[in-house]
A and B are shown apart, each in its own frame.
Chain A
Amino acid sequence: MLKTAGLDRAPMVRLGDANKGEFFTSGLEYNPPARGVWNIVHTGMLVPETHEIFACAQGCLRGVILTAAEMNALDRMSWISVSEQDMFDGTLESDVVDGVSEIIQKLPYRPRAVLLYLSCIHLFAGCDFDIIIDQLKEKFNDIRFSDCYMTPTMRKTISPDAKMRMQLYDALEPTDIDKKSVNILGNDRATDENSELVKLIKENGFTLRDITACRTYDEYLEMAKSAVNIAYLPTAAIGCEEVSKRLGTKGLYLPNAFEADKIRANMARLAEVLGVDTPDLSKQEEEAHNALEKARAVVGDTAIAIDFTAVTQPFGLAELLCSHGFNVRYIINDALGEDGDAFDRLKESHPDIEIYSAVNVNMLHFPEQEHEKVLAIGQKAAHYFSTDYFVNIVQNGGYYGFTGISAIAELISEAAVSKKDRRRLISHKGIGCESCI
């Protein structure tokens, strides 16, 4: 347990004492060396045959360019740097238009689309992004330009990640609808083929489209045909809503919950929208139960730490594991997400679970403190609890529903007995992306 006595801003709070919402006073932030979560560069690269162009200051460019370099994708990324002078001489828009034009003319290939990212300073200075896009469309009418945003300063309005997962589908335009097809939107990895979600779609004769499976730009454009759009990640919800509205199709947000009732309700809702029978999930539920029991036997009383990057509902997963007798001791999360119900129940049933901040400056030396053996679910938890026994996933790892619970239980069993190369794995930027390091 962290010694918090005397600290002005303690990075830990007992669940029983935690308020709903933000758990810690905001302040200076530390950045732990866990790199598995995708950023806007990784996400943008999901659109095939496109080129990313970033316009921003050198300091901001550096991170995005080297993200592309590490994923061996420098040939799909260009940039325009913004100087002090540019910010004040009234040329913000024309610099971007001229820069993008020059880049396109110099590229050794013709991209089908360009994702153009502006930054905080552009928006802060009142830069007219619409004019930029309009002028570029006029100059290059065979290329689709999408406005994208690297605006972390504006994160309180909409996070850059959520905005990116919305703009990812900007090029989709209303078309004839194929009623027997469905999109899963906003994911950075494919949804598990064995999941009840995918099976419900495919076994009822629907075509499933997902940007992670698109190999060409034309395949990507075909996503506009799908009659139903599904999102299950919180950062994909707003994009799903926007795309559905724009395309005149049905949008469904089916959050990736760990509670049986919610999983059943999600599947029933999807079945209703697709006009098919609600599946009987009792077998999957029983398998999930068995997988958890098996994992519990392997894990024993080992303390478990869960972080918010591994699963989108860490309190939901904690509640599920506690109900199967796991010794969940720690949750790393700075603010409550969509699992408020699970939080409330856990607060009553397990008030001694400790919630840790992922960014509080007093977490700096936490890894060096003496820790019991901890099984971590997530990279940040592995880092902070200095454990090589960890489940290496982000955003539920593409798992969903009861089958997702089974899969995660198996990963927990495996992590309990097999050490991982923590340094190598958590240093890899964007789990699932190529890496040259």
Chain B
Amino acid sequence: MKNVSTIIPCYAADTSGVCSALYELGGMTVVHDASGCNSTYSTHDEPRWYDRRSMIYISALTELDAVMGNDEKLIVDIVSAAKDQQPAFIALCGSPMPMMTGFDYRAVAEDIGHRTGIPCFGLETNGTRSYVSGASMALEALVREFVHDMQKDSFDGIGVNIVGATPLDFGLTGTVESVRKWLEDCGMKFISSIGMGSSLEDIRRAASAKVNLVVSYSGLGSARYMEKEFGIPYVCGVPLGNVQKDACAAELKKAACEGGSSYAPIKRGRDIDKRADMVVIGEAVLAGSIAYEWSVLTESAVDVICPPDTDAELSPDRKDIALYAEEDIKAYLEENGIKTVIADPLYKYVLPKGCRLIELPHFAFSGRCFARDMKDMVCKDLREMWDI
């Protein structure tokens, strides 16, 4: 069955994606769910929880309030908390129970917005989808609310936003700082990071960028919105390795100067017809970027499995597969004679006999278990890092 797992974990859910994406921006995020359910996010999906405070709360939904449709309690509770804490915005999302009762997020958000005078948006999560869906929804809502068209930055070169970085994919490894430094080394200017590493004020200036660097699938929706609304093209890829980073830089410059978005930094291209015996399992853009670098280093085909979901455009080679079920991943690895896998350490349980695992801890999968082993891969030599 596709919805069964004997041993490997599931990925973080959509509600965690929302909370993670909005964590650093001074807003209040409310998850409409039972008391105690916030410990899943705050323990397993949020590495910043101990050191950095954020107004992420749970509504403490009860059976009675759910059955009686007592939305007024939630509204009054949020209004009260907003009065005490004065958040920059309020985001409301929820779990399966509100979905079952037909809870109207948008209407309730609008009501709260009227009562508080604080921007409020409802995000229709339901706890059954992956964090990519939630983070994507949250970032797009954020951009729609706070990013408005403006003059391009006066900087002579190319202003760039990093879109879609959250600790769920990158941990607390300093990845955003590294990308920022890399941009500057390439003669480009960092405008904001929409996800982590920037304030809401920085993000308000996002439309002054000439191009967006989308580092995860979570950032693709907001990048597409900015392309449509502000004419800012985007490039998908994480600048890692010696070849990949140059591809990212070249594509960013090309997109900024000539327009047109690009998926080239995750496209392995010339190897698509070859049968791969190497696979990367993980988030679509990061895994695609690793696959690109790895295929160049080894001159071999590399496939990508994206359990947290992917998008047709994120698979320019049509070699990136959205396999979710444990049995499907296991079968794919076995049936295709996969010899080497780059994936989270907990995938060890489903590897075929003799298959080598190169460990790439993914916070959205194994949470705190291997957080200390997560690495900033930006501009790093993967051959040196992984002995490949």
Query: Which A residues are within 8 Å of any B CB, using their own CB?
Result: 7-9, 26-31, 33, 35, 57-63, 65-66, 69-70, 74-75, 77-84, 86-87, 95, 98-99, 102-103, 106-107, 119-121, 124-125, 152-157, 359, 361-362, 364-365, 368, 423, 427, 429, 436-437
Contact = CB atoms under 8 A, between A and B. Distances in A.
Contacts of B10: 58, 61-62, 65, 79, 81
Most buried by B among A9, A63, A368: A63
Given A62-B45, A364-B85, 16 more contacts: A8-B84, A9-B80, A28-B59, A29-B58, A31-B42, A33-B49, A58-B127, A62-B11, A77-B7, A103-B4, A106-B6, A120-B97, A121-B100, A125-B100, A153-B63, A361-B55
B9 A27 contact: no
A77 B36 CA distance: 21
B107 to A, nearest CB: 19
B99 A65 contact: no
Nearest to A56: B96
B244 interface: no
Interface string B111-144: 0000000000000001111100000000000000
Contacts of A102: 1, 4
Contacts, number: 206
A427 B42 CA distance: 11
- A-B residue pairs, 5 tightest by C-beta: A59-B127, A63-B40, A59-B13, A152-B34, A28-B57
A83 B97 contact: no
14 contacts: A28-B80, A58-B11, A58-B14, A62-B9, A70-B369, A80-B1, A82-B96, A83-B128, A98-B1, A102-B4, A103-B4, A153-B62, A155-B36, A437-B371
B34 to A, nearest CB: 4
B42 A33 contact: yes
Contact of A155 (B6, B35, B80, B372): B35
A106 B326 CA distance: 12
A31 B35 CA distance: 9
Given A7-B84, A102-B4, A359-B35, A364 B55 contact: yes
B361 to A, nearest CB: 12
A170 B85 CA distance: 46
Interface residues of B, number: 66
Most buried by A among B1, B3, B42, B99: B3
B78 interface: yes
A154 B37 CA distance: 12
Contacts of A154: 63
A366 to B, nearest CB: 10
A27 B96 contact: no
A35 B9 contact: no
B96 A121 contact: yes
Contact of B13 (A57, A359, A429): A57
B15 A66 contact: no
Most buried by A among B7, B53, B63, B95: B7
Contacts of B126: 57, 84
Contacts of A9: 80-81, 84
Contact of A156 (B57, B59, B63, B84): B63
B62 A155 contact: yes
B1 A99 contact: yes
Most buried by A among B34, B97, B367: B34
Contacts of B6: 78, 103, 106-107
B360 interface: no
Nearest to A6: B84
B61 A361 contact: no
Interface of B: 1, 3-16, 30, 33-40, 42-45, 49-50, 53, 55, 57-64, 66, 77-78, 80-81, 83-85, 95-97, 99-100, 126-130, 346, 349, 366-369, 371-372
Given A27-B60, A62-B10, A155-B35, A437 B369 contact: yes
Given A58-B128, A84-B99, A8 B35 contact: no
A60 B80 contact: no
B99 A152 contact: no
Nearest to A100: B4
A156 B64 contact: yes
B16 A59 contact: yes
Contacts of A103: 4, 6
A153 B45 CA distance: 21
B171 to A, nearest CB: 13
Given A81-B10, A155-B62, A365 B97 contact: no
A81 B3 contact: yes
Contacts of A364: 53, 55, 85
A59 B1 CA distance: 19
Contacts of B14: 58-59
Given A368-B53, A427-B50, A60 B1 contact: no
Nearest to A68: B9
A42 to B, nearest CB: 13
B100 A58 contact: no
Contacts of A26: 60, 77
Contacts of B99: 84, 87
B130 A58 contact: yes
Contacts of B367: 66, 69-70
Given A69-B367, A423-B50, A29 B60 contact: yes
A65 B294 CA distance: 31
Given A28-B57, A60-B40, A153 B9 contact: no
A63 B58 CA distance: 15
A58 B50 CA distance: 24
Nearest to B39: A31
B177 to A, nearest CB: 23
B346 A155 contact: no
A361 B35 CA distance: 13
A279 B97 CA distance: 53
Nearest to B125: A59
A23 to B, nearest CB: 15
B310 to A, nearest CB: 17
A427 B14 CA distance: 24
Contacts of B33: 59
A177 B98 CA distance: 48
A157 B129 CA distance: 29
Nearest to A104: B6
Given A121-B96, A124-B100, A28 B62 contact: no
A123 to B, nearest CB: 8
A437 B371 CA distance: 8
Contacts of B40: 59-60, 62-63, 66
Contacts of B64: 156
Most buried by A among B6, B81, B129: B6
Most buried by B among A62, A69, A75, A77: A62
A65 B187 CA distance: 45
Contacts of B49: 33
A80 B61 contact: no
A78 B5 contact: yes
Nearest to A77: B7
A57 B95 contact: yes
Contacts of A423: 50
Contacts of A153: 34, 61-63, 66, 97
A152 B100 contact: no
A176 to B, nearest CB: 38
Contacts of A80: 1, 3-4
